[in-house]
Amino acid sequence: MSFTLTVISAPAKPAVTADLVAKIRSVIRVDTDFTWLMEGVACDFVIPKHPDYANLRAELRVALSNAGVDMALQPSEGRKKKLLLADMDSTMIQQECIDELADEVGLKDKVSAITARAMRGEIDFDPALKERVALLKGLDLSVVDQLFAKRITFTPGGKSLIQTMKANGAYCALVSGGFTHFTAKVRESLGFDEDRANILLEAGGKLTGEVGMPILGKDAKKQRLHELIAEMNITAADSLAVGDGANDLAMIQDAGMGVALHAKPNVAAQAEFVIDHGDLTALLFLQGYKASDFITT
């Protein structure tokens, strides 16, 4: 079985130089085929035979630790995936929506602290969500709708990721511990096939401070992954999941390609694929897509 080493930097900060390529070849120590996925940004090294892939991975991590790049070593076959499950907050978008909502009632610091602890896995997600939503009681629903346009920004590469995978036959699902008010807009903007999230309850045009039950957390994300695998009659190896927080870890670990994207340290430590430098196009490079393959509209 041949393996492929993929080295990825941020498109905005190309870091895959000729010197770095030479350094990588010296670590691999066997003949390899080299392919640019995007010149200066990402490349593949196909390693048909190596005496010790486990130690090679460790050696490469040390050699590239200060190079401003991410790396993945995986079997060359089956890299392109048929199913994507993606988290929303701090993954497909650059904010935590509940923190931005809390800012509207002057409680962002308090809510952000709870969010950070929940995403690090220090407190359970469900009670943390209930506590934060309770603080939003009385917030006018029109503020929720306006906030998306005012504050929410997309993570670079997101639309290319979704559109390129869909153009190649993949199904793309947005599964969030956030709220349907936001996931519906993200789904429509980026082209996801479906979105699932929590429901903010309201009455008379104002938030009640309660969230609809059951809460969509880590177990529901994992469950949806396995439901879609069964519905599509594919295997777990055909799936890709991406997220940044503790409530994403179960689906990340069960997916064929589970990616921790700019993730909390305890999440990154438990994920096979870790992207600290690249943007969402890194998930396309991991699958072997070249920049010329990207769908950008």
Q: How confident is the model at residue 236 (pLDDT cuts 50, 70, 90)?
A: very high
Cα distance between the two ends of the chain = 36
The answer to whether 201 and 45 have CB atoms below 8 angstroms apart is no
pLDDT exceeds 80 at position 223: yes
The pLDDT of residue 50: 77
Confidence of residue 30 (pLDDT cuts 50, 70, 90): confident
Number of continuous H segments (helices) and E segments (strands) in the chain = 12, 12
Phi–psi pair at 224, nearest 5 degrees: -65, -35
pTM metric for this prediction: 0.95
Kindly report which listed range (30-34, 149-153, 255-259) carries the lowest average pLDDT score: 30-34
Alpha-carbon distance values, 110 to 99, 104, 114, 175, 198 (Å): 9, 13, 7, 25, 21
Say if CB 157 and CB 38 are below 8 A apart: no
Entry field: residues in the chain: 297
| pLDDT at 53 > cutoff 90 | no
Range with the poorest average pLDDT among 45-49, 211-215, 217-221? 45-49
Alpha helix positions (H), the chain: 18-28, 53-63, 97-103, 108-119, 125-134, 141-151, 158-167, 180-190, 218-231, 249-254, 265-268, 282-286
**In which band, very low, low, confident or very high, does the pLDDT at 246 lie, cut at 50, 70 and 90?**
very high
Confidence band of 123 (pLDDT split at 50, 70, 90)? confident
* Catalytic positions: 87, 89
List Cβ neighbours of 160 (8 Å cut-off, separation of 6 or more): 280, 281, 284, 294, 295, 296
CB 32 within 8 A of CB 45: yes
Res. 141 pLDDT band, cuts 50 70 90:
confident
Round to whole Å and give the CA distance between 138 and 42. 48
Sign of CA dihedral 7, 8, 14, 15: negative
Cα distance between residue 260 and residue 82, in whole Å: 19
Among 3.40.50.2000, 3.40.50.720, 3.30.70.260, 1.10.1040.10, name the CATH number for the domain at 1-77. 3.30.70.260
User: In this predicted model, what pLDDT tens digit does every residue of 86-96 receive, in sequence order?
Assistant: 999 999 999 99
CA separation, residue 168 to residues 112, 125, 142, 172, 220 (Å): 38, 35, 38, 11, 27
Q: Which two tokens stand for residue 63?
A: 């050699």
Q: Locate the domains of the chain by residue range.
A: 1-77
β pairing state of 83-86 and 42-47: unpaired
Enter the tokens of residue 132.
């934060």
Model confidence at 148: pLDDT above 90 = no
89-110 in b/e burial notation, b at 16+ Cβ within 10 A? bbbbbebbbbbbbbebeebbee
- Given this model, what pLDDT does residue 3 score? 93
The lowest-confidence range among 10-14, 85-89, 140-144, 211-215 is 140-144
